[in-house]
């Protein structure tokens, strides 16, 4: 395992060393020590690497991830796993706002709580949150799955497209065009597979499913106030 101490090396040095692995992979296992809330750690990766960040990370940790598997042993700031394409990101603590924003693929697991706008404009990423999510989560979500094992704040799924949202706890309010939907066998199977991938021991039958009413796909003058 290769260890980079951010008390001794810069974030630029760290990211360059990780990016170099896309050209020739010489080390698959990495450990980052003393992150001290620094921003943009392990961003833009394009190789099947395993990276453990031992401590708290700042903004946009593991952003634009492709193929790599990143674990943060602490909390993260805004935009963790933003625009992720594949691979996985696991946060052992809490996540600030916009976790998984615009993500196209891969798996994001947050073992604590996620703040506002979790999964905003998600485009295929799977997000599993063991705790609660804040207001406006999955706003304009287009594709993928958002699983919340705790509660959800105001305006869940506002103006969403085809994301599947599963919530075990209470939903404070639903956003425009988001409704509760029937939980059929295929959804129980899908949710069970997601929970297994995330390593979360929950009963799929204890969740409710939410999705788009599909009333805002095309402009209707009667719905003008909802746009």
Nearest of 1, 12, 110 to residue 52 by alpha carbon: 1
* Count of beta carbons in the 10 Å neighbourhood of residue 3: 11
pLDDT for the residue numbered 219: 67
Hey, what are 64's tokens? Answer: 């634009």
pLDDT for the residue numbered 226: 64
**What are the extents of the domains in the chain?**
2-223
pLDDT confidence of 215, banded at 50, 70, 90? confident
DSSP for 13-40, please give it: HHHHHHHHTTTS-S--EEEEE--TT-SS
Task: Decide if pLDDT at 51 tops 70.
Answer: yes
pLDDT for the residue numbered 217: 73
pLDDT digits (tens, 9 = 90+) for 151-200: 999 999 999 999 999 999 999 999 999 999 999 999 999 999 999 999 99
Residue 136, Cβ density class (10 Å: 0-12 exposed, 13-18 middle, ≥19 buried): buried
Q: What does the alpha-carbon distance between residue 204 and residue 147 come to, in Å, rounded to a whole number? A: 10
CB 64 within 8 A of CB 47: no
pLDDT for the residue numbered 128: 98
pLDDT confidence of 227, banded at 50, 70, 90? low
Q: What does the alpha-carbon distance between residue 156 and residue 16 come to, in Å, rounded to a whole number? A: 38
Close Cβ partners of 39 (under 8 Å, ≥ 6 residues apart): 11, 57, 58, 59, 60, 61, 77
Q: What does the alpha-carbon distance between residue 202 and residue 196 come to, in Å, rounded to a whole number? A: 9
Hey, what are 171's tokens? Answer: 């939903």
182-197 CB burial, b ≥16 within 10 A, e <16:
eeeeebbebbeebbee
Task: Decide if pLDDT at 124 tops 90.
Answer: yes
Q: What does the alpha-carbon distance between residue 112 and residue 74 come to, in Å, rounded to a whole number? A: 10
Task: Decide if pLDDT at 57 tops 70.
Answer: yes
* Count of beta carbons in the 10 Å neighbourhood of residue 74: 17
Q: What does the alpha-carbon distance between residue 160 and residue 128 come to, in Å, rounded to a whole number? A: 18
pLDDT for the residue numbered 216: 80
- Percent of the chain beyond pLDDT 70? 98
pLDDT confidence of 222, banded at 50, 70, 90? confident
CATH number for region 2-223: 2.160.20.60
Hey, what are 92's tokens? Answer: 């052992």
Strands 50-54 and 29-33: parallel
pLDDT digits (tens, 9 = 90+) for 58-106: 999 999 999 999 999 999 999 999 999 999 999 999 999 999 999 999 9
Close Cβ partners of 26 (under 8 Å, ≥ 6 residues apart): none
């Amino acid at each position: 395992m290769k260890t980079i101490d951010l008390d001794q090396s810069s974030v630029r040095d760290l990211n360059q060393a990780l990016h170099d692995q896309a050209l020739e992979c010489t080390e698959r296992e990495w450990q980052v020590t003393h992150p001290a809330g620094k921003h943009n750690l392990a961003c833009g990766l394009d190789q099947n690497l395993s990276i453990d960040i031992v401590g708290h990370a700042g903004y946009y940790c593991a952003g634009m991830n492709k193929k790599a598997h990143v674990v943060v042993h602490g909390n993260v700031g805004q935009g963790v796993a933003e625009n992720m394409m594949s691979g996985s990101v696991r946060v052992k603590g809490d996540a600030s706002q916009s976790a998984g924003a615009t993500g196209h693929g891969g798996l994001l697991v947050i073992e604590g709580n996620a703040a506002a706008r979790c999964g905003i404009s998600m485009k295929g990423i799977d997000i599993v949150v063991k705790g609660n999510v804040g207001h406006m989560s999955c706003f304009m979500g287009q594709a993928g799955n958002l699983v919340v094992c705790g509660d959800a704040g105001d305006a869940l799924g506002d103006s969403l497209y085809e994301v599947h949202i599963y919530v075990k706890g209470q939903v404070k309010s639903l956003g425009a065009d988001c409704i509760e939907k029937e939980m059929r066998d295929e959804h129980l199977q899908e949710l069970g597979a997601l929970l297994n991938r995330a390593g979360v021991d929950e009963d799929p039958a204890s969740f409710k499913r939410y999705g788009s009413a599909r009333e805002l796909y095309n402009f209707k003058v009667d719905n003008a106030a909802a746009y």
